[in-house]
Structure 1
Amino acid sequence: MSQSRASKACDPCKRRKVRCNGQSRCQQCTHLGLRCLYTSPATSTIRKKKLLRGSVINECRNLGYLHSTGTEPTETLASRVVSVSIPASIVSHPNPSFFHEFLYEYEKYVFPMSPVILAKDVERMITQMNESRDAASFVYIFAAVTLNLTRGEPVQEAPATRERIATLLTRSLEHRRPLGFDAQPNIVSVMTSLFSEMCSVGLRRLDMGFFYLREAISLLYMLHAHSDEALSEIDMPERAQLQRAYWECFIHERFTALTYNRPPCLSALQGLPDHDPTLPEDVEIGFNHNINNFCLVDREFLQYWLGEKSGVGSEWIENKQLQLEDNTWHRQVSKLPGMMQADLIITRHWLRTLTWQIALSNTLLSSSPDSSLLLSLSFPLRLSNQLRQFLVGIPRDMVGIHGSGILEKLFEIANVITDVVLHFPHARGEETVQRIHDIVFLKNFVYSFAGFQTLRPAMLTRKFEMIRDKYPEIREIELLL
């Protein structure tokens, strides 16, 4: 007698289109070690309707159905980023249209600054999510990092965005496949870890961010990306892709060392990534300029910033400031798209501010009018004016698109400039007006970003209030700006 067909099949059997015996834990799922779930027909129908092409925001809300009732506070959901379990099977995913909606913004805003995984490759991985945990993990983190960099919402709406990013990051971590004894990582696993670092830092989970950055670096070492000999055996364009991944980790690690005082381990490669004709020309040029920016943060710079500063001399300070002031560099960068200009030029101003702080910590600066401008106590005021002139001429969203990293740089620049204004002798006449214009503009600019509030700028706010007391003229100028 033929075996009767079960009246109701479990979800995994439905997706795999195989016969299900309908038991509470069916034979198929027991054999394969899958999670056996049954969705009621009514729920399934409703869910299909919900997963028809819709807004990104509504889809993101639906992502939490496995983890949250929707009533938990943001902190509870975000805290799950640091402790998640890896399921035995891949659970159902949102409709592919949800992920497709991120592709345009990824290609326009994320890929130019992280030019490793092409949008067409992401699109291919979206189609593989049900068959490949690695693909599913990357697709979730691709959506998270795109959302992290492209949703500049008002302060009151920012918590909802943070929760969506945390949910996507959590789903990515759940689908990650453990690296087996004989397993070999690939470029996708490297970028999954690096994007996890970026999202963790954006959520202010700095320790987790450092963990995933070091994980990405470890995977690069497993791929021998640090070895010129090993790289020479890899064909193009994979070789250039691996080199760009290495350099991006180098950039992130240098930034992390300077901002959060974490020890770096990567050395610079012998040269820039090999030319890749598949990359847009401005993306390749902009990325190479970014590499050159952080190559100026050499071992000596790191030693002076993180450790012993007694060896710092006036000659080193002046030479480093001259390298950072290169007029030829500025002319080349001015031809790039505004988004790249914003990152590159603000980074240069940030590095010049850090170099000035190294000099200050070793008492190499002077207020004498006869001293070198590069060794002057008032040098940050000059940088403030230059930065203002640049920011006035560039759309604000070209700055905000870079996320928390660029806000950290602006925070440091503003913090140093306010200190100088507070402690430098009271200026007179035109110099006073110019100084106040610059400081008020910078204050209004940095505080206009919702993400700036996550940096807890209370101390900076107090400094601005002290400046208002020192310069009564500021109140009149504030009304004009």
Structure 2
Amino acid sequence: MFSENDSCMTALEISLKIPKKLIDKCLRLYHDNLYVIWPLLSYDNLHKLLEEKYDDCYAYWFLVALSAATLSDLKTEVESEDGTSFSGRKLTFLCISSRQQFDDLDNSDLFKIMTYYCLHRCFSQISDTKTSYRLSSAAISLIKVTEFHREKTYESLSFDEQQLRRKVFYLLLLTERYYSVYIHCVTSLDATIAPPQPETVTDPRLSLDSFLEMIRVFTVPGKCFFDALATDSPDPFCTEDSLKKIWKELHTASLEIEPWSYGYVDISFSRHWIRTLAWRLVFRMNNIDFLSNSNNTHIPVEIARDMLDDVFLTPNNLYGVHGPGIPTKALEIANALVDVVNQNDQKTESEAWDVLCEISKFVFSLNHYDGKLVESFVTKCQSALITLPISKPPKSDEDLKDDSNIVF
């Protein structure tokens, strides 16, 4: 019914609504697999929304966008009763082609914000970083217009309404901080509101523990940390003490998180990634030695070994749902190891080389989303006269896609 290779759909195609039963299948998939990673609404609440607000334009397009993000993250398809197959890509382009139906620029509401967040996830999975960033930025701008970043605006809301808004706010804060490092744009959101409250649940798929730990991991460094990375210059508020705090507080994950689950994997790689970024900032701050008992050049080796411990115990099928995050963060650590191999300390260089070989094998076993980052890493290795222990660098999704039909 819809062409996956053509985002310019006909008026008839756009006017045909996605069947309730098909959306409901996606909502169940989201509940079973993804709520623990990016929690918005439980299945019960989503199903109620589907039944009661199916004819509401804003609610409907949010549900379609969430379905698209779910299928994109899980890399699967669902079939309607007439046998029509729907992929995340197909639903994504349907949403984009129908954008004027859910964003008339007339007002701002939570459905619009969540719709843009879901669409950002869709485009990140199809290796379109620029469009993904633009969509997340649209959601962030609506956050500020609706004043979700001000604690005072939550006072009159019910607990459930507060929880949802807090979850949406922090999902976008995490997204913005990740992109700031690679898009090189300073962040606009700060931890100006309290995180969502922990909830007592009997279903572990509805636990917020992993999400709350991710919030901790991304807020320990502070806004200034990510802004310093975005601008390639030290921030006066990003001090030696703040870097010590990052190293100390992100050395281990919370014991409450189920080991080697979807949530744990994201937390683990984010910890390793942020500690590596902190190491990079050290050299921009006059080579301060912020670990008294460890040589600075040895830090990436320690981080990489911690990551390899996690990799050894993590099933391969847990990486894909996180989109570009896992391979990008792993590549950052590999890049740091190349820097260490270039040092003059022969012992440290030898240790770094051994770990780099193992890290490279893992990095190139992943599905990469940004071909430029991969190419930059390979070029860096070649410049350092490092021969990678792989037959050939992987192809990224970016090499296989055609952006010419994406309209935004």
What residue in structure 1 maps to residue 273 of structure 2? 350
The change in CA–CA distance for 1:330 and 1:244 in structure 2 (over 3 A counts) is closer
What residue in structure 2 maps to residue 102 of structure 1? 26
Percent identity between matched residues is 16
Larger radius of gyration: 1
Q: Is the Cα contact below 8 Å between 2:14 and 2:94 reproduced in 1?
A: no
Distance 2:306 2:13 in 1: 55
Aligned partner letter, 2:362: F
What residue in structure 2 maps to residue 236 of structure 1? 159
What residue in structure 2 maps to residue 306 of structure 1? 230
Aligned partner letter, 2:271: R
What residue in structure 1 maps to residue 378 of structure 2? 461
- After superposition, the C-alpha distances for 1:93-132 in whole angstroms (9 at most, x for unaligned) are 4554443443333112221111112223444455578733
Distance 2:199 2:10 in 1: 37
Measured after TM superposition, the shift of residue 256 of structure 1 is: 1.3
Q: Is the Cα contact below 8 Å between 2:54 and 2:60 reproduced in 1?
A: yes
What residue in structure 2 maps to residue 445 of structure 1? 362
Distance 2:161 2:91 in 1: 28
What residue in structure 2 maps to residue 384 of structure 1? 304
Distance 1:348 1:427 in 2: 26
Measured after TM superposition, the shift of residue 332 of structure 1 is: 3.7
Q: Is the Cα contact below 8 Å between 1:137 and 1:174 reproduced in 2?
A: no
3-state SS of the aligned residue for 2:283? helix
Q: 1:202 aligned to 2:121?
A: no
- After superposition, the C-alpha distances for 1:415-456 in whole angstroms (9 at most, x for unaligned) are 22223224454439xx94x65553232222221223356455
Q: 1:117 aligned to 2:30?
A: no
What residue in structure 2 maps to residue 413 of structure 1? 333
The change in CA–CA distance for 1:125 and 1:462 in structure 2 (over 3 A counts) is same
Q: 1:269 aligned to 2:192?
A: yes
Distance 1:409 1:388 in 2: 13
Q: 1:190 aligned to 2:113?
A: yes
Distance 1:257 1:171 in 2: 28
Q: Is the Cα contact below 8 Å between 1:373 and 1:379 reproduced in 2?
A: no
- Find the partner of 2:56 among 132, 144, 156: 132
Aligned partner letter, 1:309: P
The change in CA–CA distance for 1:136 and 1:363 in structure 2 (over 3 A counts) is same
- After superposition, the C-alpha distances for 1:272-299 in whole angstroms (9 at most, x for unaligned) are 2134456956721111111111112313
Aligned partner letter, 1:461: V
Q: Is the Cα contact below 8 Å between 1:310 and 1:362 reproduced in 2?
A: no
Q: 1:245 aligned to 2:184?
A: no
Distance 1:381 1:453 in 2: 24
Alignment of 1:55-66 (within 5 A): 62-64=1-3
Q: Is the Cα contact below 8 Å between 1:152 and 1:449 reproduced in 2?
A: no
Q: Can you give the 5+ residue segments of structure 1 that lack an aligned partner in the other structure? A: 1-61, 69-73, 154-162, 476-481
Aligned partner letter, 2:234: K
Measured after TM superposition, the shift of residue 358 of structure 1 is: 0.5
The change in CA–CA distance for 1:228 and 1:418 in structure 2 (over 3 A counts) is same
Alignment of 1:318-333 (within 5 A): 318-325=244-251, 327=252, 329-333=253-257
3-state SS of the aligned residue for 1:117? coil
Measured after TM superposition, the shift of residue 193 of structure 1 is: 0.8
Measured after TM superposition, the shift of residue 388 of structure 1 is: 0.5
Q: Which segment is superposed worse, 267-276 or 249-258? A: 267-276
RMSD: 3.5
- Find the partner of 1:398 among 318, 323, 337: 318
Measured after TM superposition, the shift of residue 396 of structure 1 is: 1.6
Measured after TM superposition, the shift of residue 406 of structure 1 is: 2.2
What residue in structure 2 maps to residue 359 of structure 1? 282
3-state SS of the aligned residue for 2:322? coil
The change in CA–CA distance for 1:199 and 1:470 in structure 2 (over 3 A counts) is closer
Alignment of 1:22-41 (within 5 A): none
Q: Is the Cα contact below 8 Å between 1:63 and 1:94 reproduced in 2?
A: no
- After superposition, the C-alpha distances for 1:172-231 in whole angstroms (9 at most, x for unaligned) are 12334255576451x322110111122223333333223222221233334432232220
The change in CA–CA distance for 1:244 and 1:331 in structure 2 (over 3 A counts) is same
Aligned partner letter, 2:375: A
Q: Which segment is superposed worse, 416-425 or 346-355? A: 416-425
Q: Is the Cα contact below 8 Å between 2:198 and 2:209 reproduced in 1?
A: no
Aligned partner letter, 2:95: S
The change in CA–CA distance for 1:462 and 1:426 in structure 2 (over 3 A counts) is farther
Distance 2:313 2:13 in 1: 51
Distance 1:98 1:346 in 2: 34
The change in CA–CA distance for 1:100 and 1:174 in structure 2 (over 3 A counts) is same
Measured after TM superposition, the shift of residue 262 of structure 1 is: 1.7
Distance 1:181 1:410 in 2: 39
- After superposition, the C-alpha distances for 1:140-198 in whole angstroms (9 at most, x for unaligned) are 32222112211299xxxxxxxxx95443212112334255576451x322110111122
Q: Which segment is superposed worse, 238-247 or 295-304? A: 295-304
Measured after TM superposition, the shift of residue 384 of structure 1 is: 0.9
- Find the partner of 1:150 among 65, 71, 74: 74
